[in-house]
Amino acid sequence: MSIEETNRQRLKEAWAKWAESKGDPPSMWREYMSDDIQLFSLADGDSRIAFTEKRSGYAEIEEYLAGRQFFHGSLGNRRHRGRG
């Protein structure tokens, strides 16, 4: 299996776990991240949408995910219901 296929399979597994657990606990992502991971947005921390601020390292990303748990369980589901 190629590295791309391995990564694709791991990503599908991670998203399935995330969907099943409704994002709780955010630490479930730990096995899929390295310590030098970075999370960023095109909005780049714009003051009007502060949650887009760059995060570096697993601890910052876990803190971000812990604060975003409501999204997957409420807004995220509402958005998906509207699709086909």
Q: Please report the beta strands in 1-84, taking only residues with DSSP state E, as ranges in sequence order.
A: 38-39, 55-56
Q: Which two tokens stand for residue 34?
A: 């390295």
The larger pLDDT score, comparing residue 59 to residue 84, is at 59
Q: Which among 35, 17, 15, 75 has a CA at the least distance from the CA of 51?
A: 75
Tens-digit pLDDT profile for residues 43-63? 888 888 878 889 999 888 888
34 phi, psi to nearest 5 deg: -100, 165
Q: Which among 55, 60, 69 has a CA at the least distance from the CA of 26?
A: 69
Tens-digit pLDDT profile for residues 4-48? 999 999 999 988 988 888 777 878 888 888 889 898 888 888 888
Every domain of the chain and the residues it spans: 3-79
| pTM across the whole model | 0.56
Place of tokens 């887009």: 52
